[in-house]
Amino acid sequence: MGQSNGVKQSHPRMADPVCSIGASREEVLAVAKAVIGIHRDFGNRSNRKLARLKYVLDERGLEWFQSELASRLGTALQPPKPLSWSRQEDYLGWHRSRRRLFHGLRVISGA
């Protein structure tokens, strides 16, 4: 969602679900390396403030990105699972964990 202040071409962008991956360490690392490689090969090198993966996705599209990722992984991607949240809490105040109490407090930054 970030953007660079003072750079008109920058803008926030919501994430897109790309695929589902297993929980094995090897699979997670392979996907991470492939995504980093795509960004390295197609990302903006002339302006650091525009060197973000979101701009590669904006320029080339999600379908292209999924195809490129599958190509680099050497396997078809599994469709992304629907996102769901099982609870909605802010953790402010006192709460009990398994063995102890903890207190969540809001830390205000800036002036």
Assessment of whether the complete model's pTM goes beyond 0.75:
no
Segment 23-72, tens digit of pLDDT: 788 998 999 999 999 999 999 888 877 888 999 999 999 999 999 999 99
pLDDT digits (tens, 9 = 90+) for 4-24: 777 777 788 888 889 988 778
Is there a contact between 61 and 69 (Cβ–Cβ < 8 Å)? no
For the beta carbon of residue 56, count every other beta carbon within 10 angstroms.
19
Residues 66 and 101: their CA atoms lie apart, in Å, by 44
User: CA-to-CA distance for 3 and 20, rounded, in angstroms?
Assistant: 27
Report the alpha-carbon distance of residue 9 to residue 93 in Å, rounded: 41
How, if at all, do strands 93-96 and 101-104 pair?
antiparallel
